[in-house]
Amino acid sequence: MLIVKKFGGTSVANKERIFNVARRCIEDYQAGHDVVVVLSAMGKYTDELIDMAKDINELPPKREMDMLFTIGEQMSVALMAMAMNKLGVPAISLNAFQVAMHSTSVYGNARLKRIDSERIRHELEARKIVIVTGFQGINKYDDYTTLGRGGSDTTAVALAAALHADKCEIYTDVDGVYTADPRKVPNARKLDAVTYDEMLELATLGAGVLHNRSVELAKKYGVRMVVRSSLNTSEGTVVRGGSKMEKMLVSGVAGDADTARVAIVGLKDEPGVAFKVFNALAKHNINIDMILQSVGRKGTKDISFTTNEESAEEAVKVINENFSDFESIDVDKKVAKVSIVGAGMQSNAGVAAKMFEALYDSNINIRMISTSEIRVTVLIDEDKMERAMGAVHDKFALGE
């Protein structure tokens, strides 16, 4: 079997953990498998690099940020190769250039386009464990790029797809995918399996387990993913195709406090306004999530939308630079999204109503609502997020 194993920052945070990961990989290697390992930077090293950069320049050029970021992952893979060699197993570390992993040009938010697999195959044939830097790519200018925070998951799935791996294991500091974040909802339960679509919604909604683009890729190429803990040997959660799992209506509840609401008040009520607003935002790569447009009155209307907190200020700047025909624009960062996700809800009426009832029972006001086939999301006050998650989790009896 060819197995891609990805370990996040906490799993390689110190010497003991590096050796722990090395041993886990060596077990598979000694069982005769081909092993490709993808690593993140150690612990919170990426955050430390950001602090260092901002201490020098509060608005560092994105290209230079990527140049800086890549050393975090490069450090992990080199140390890991040393650990494996120390344990008597041949291993080799490779960065994005050496592989090579080609990406789009956008610094800080690049997408992988193509991965050359020859070098990795060659090293595997020589019976080496191959350790690859997560998070990074190279663009057509031969510059380093990065895939966005948490992007190493995506590197792992992309490699698994390119190498036609038998499975892609994502090791993290939790046992798998839960019905809710166990730090926020104590009686949350681990799921044995979720569908790609469910995981995609959960990841996008800030379940915090997987980089959402890794799930998109896994779905597209049918990569079998397993999310499991690097600290114990429990089975984890399988992410795979198919529909409804465990005969459950709702599989999980997600909360995302990194949400801001931007409201543009008094726009002209005429054709093309929404297009112009969101086109301007799209040109600046600002990701929009929920959108609400008010009923027009006296020739004007309001448009509000949500985005992550960092993008909110930039959104305001873009709107102010491109438009003058509105009354006011306002940002509220004290909001959070709470969502329920489940492949089973497509064919069941009343799921949304049940969620709203749970919030009503807890006296929590809903400020915006959006839905997809397998998800219902509400925007509420940020300080009520955990209480809302608990109430909804209980309402659907997800802990049982």
Contacts with ligand ASP by CB under 6 A lie at: 8-9, 40-41, 46, 72, 134-135, 149-152
Degrees, nearest 5: CA angle 280-281-284: 95
User: Among all chains, which residue has been given the structure tokens 């895939």?
Assistant: 147
CB of 8 to Mg ion, least distance (A): 5
Cβ nearer to Mg ion, comparing 150 with 206: 150
Q: How far apart are CA 207 and CA 244, in angstroms?
A: 19
CB–CB of 343/244 below 8 Å? yes
Cβ nearer to ligand ASP, comparing 202 with 343: 202
User: E strands of the chain, at which residues?
Assistant: 2-7, 34-39, 91-94, 101-103, 112-115, 129-133, 136-138, 144-146, 167-172, 193-195, 225-229, 237-240, 252-268, 291-293, 300-307, 328-341, 368-372, 375-381
Cβ nearer to ligand ASP, comparing 76 with 339: 76
Interface characters, 50-89, with Mg ion (x: CB under 5 A): ----------------------------------------
Which partner, ligand ASP, Mg ion, none, binds residue 135 by CB below 5 to 8 Å per kind? ligand ASP
Cβ nearer to ligand ASP, comparing 3 with 42: 42
CB of 137 to Mg ion, least distance (A): 17
Write the CA distances from 24 to 36, 163, 177, 237, integer angstroms. 12, 21, 21, 18
Cβ nearer to ligand ASP, comparing 134 with 137: 134
What is the distance in angstroms between the CA of the first residue and the CA of the last residue of the chain? Answer: 36
Q: Give the binding range for Mg ion (CB under 5 A) out of 102-110, 150-158, 191-199, 244-252.
A: 150-158
Could you say which of 43, 134, 150, 236 contacts Mg ion (CB under 5 A)? 150
Interface characters, 94-133, with Mg ion (x: CB under 5 A): ----------------------------------------
CB–CB of 25/81 below 8 Å? no
